[in-house]
Amino acid sequence: MSRNDTLHVFYFNGLGSGKTRHREQLAFRYLAKHGIEVTHAPIDWRSDEPFPVLFERMTKLTQQELKKHGKLILVGSSAGGSLAINILGRLHDKNISAITLCSRLRLADLPWWDRRSLKRKAYLGTPLASQSFFDSVTYCSKTTIPKLTKQDKAQIVIVQQWADFVVPRQTMSIEGVQTYGVPALGHGWGIATGVRRLPEVVKLLGLG
């Protein structure tokens, strides 16, 4: 693949400080070998930055990256997935696609014994609380998804694994959006396998 054929990914990380982790660095190098250039938009999900401010900041950065490259794929890992969908839904741009990796995108009523509630996984009420993650999923579920157009949905692929012990499967999907299954069990393994399969996933978007 020539330089002119390189695909450009704007990557939103999951819960954490936003620093590029070693495993993410390895993933970016792997993707570079397959013609996918990654720019990490570091997000500290546990900072005091309110979600509306984070959303606006990342939307503007997305627009800058799009202007630079002409086409852009937003890839959201775990907590980053709802933000990727929110930005795509805000911009409604035919040159922006989105891929979510094992991400919580919708609210859902879970049985009383299921400990994977959004409030619990956002660690609200603890020193590790991520109000912005909680708000991003809530906004995605209540505001973004209902307003996605048919064209928007055609520009999204949702990556899911066989089973996830962190994110309930029923919160990962969006009606009318294609999913891509990866042979993995667990949240971390699902994301890792999804990254390895990204060169195949982008082809579902008519890219690559």
Give me the pLDDT at residue 3, please.
Answer: 44
In this structure, are residues 145 and 88 in contact, taking their beta carbons and an 8 Å threshold?
no
In this structure, are residues 173 and 193 in contact, taking their beta carbons and an 8 Å threshold?
no
Give me the pLDDT at residue 57, please.
Answer: 98
Q: Tell me how far apart the alpha carbons of residues 73 and 38 are, in angstroms, rounded to a whole number.
A: 9
Tell me the mean pLDDT in the region 93-98. Answer: 97
Residue of 13 and 22 predicted with greater confidence? 13
pTM of the model: 0.95
| Domain parsing of the chain, residue ranges | 3-205
Structure tokens at 172: 């990962």
Nearest to 88 by CA among 130, 151, 38, 42: 151
In this structure, are residues 158 and 78 in contact, taking their beta carbons and an 8 Å threshold?
no
Side chain identity, residue 54: L
Residue 208 — very low, low, confident or very high, per pLDDT cuts 50/70/90? Answer: confident
In this structure, are residues 76 and 84 in contact, taking their beta carbons and an 8 Å threshold?
yes
Q: Tell me how far apart the alpha carbons of residues 161 and 175 are, in angstroms, rounded to a whole number.
A: 18
Q: What is the pLDDT of residues 108-139, one digit of tens each?
A: 999 999 999 999 999 999 999 999 999 999 99
Q: How far is CA 126 from the centre of its chain?
A: 24
CA neighbours closer than 13 Å in the CB half-sphere of residue 55? 23
Give me the pLDDT at residue 201, please.
Answer: 97
Residue 4 — very low, low, confident or very high, per pLDDT cuts 50/70/90? Answer: low
Q: What is the pLDDT of residues 54-70, one digit of tens each?
A: 999 999 999 999 999 99
Task: Domain 3-205: give its CATH architecture.
Answer: 3-Layer(aba) Sandwich (3.40)
Q: Is the pLDDT of residue 44 over 60?
A: yes
Mean residue pLDDT of the chain comes to 95
Tell me the mean pLDDT in the region 68-92. Answer: 97
Q: What is the CA angle 160-5-76, rounded to 5?
A: 25
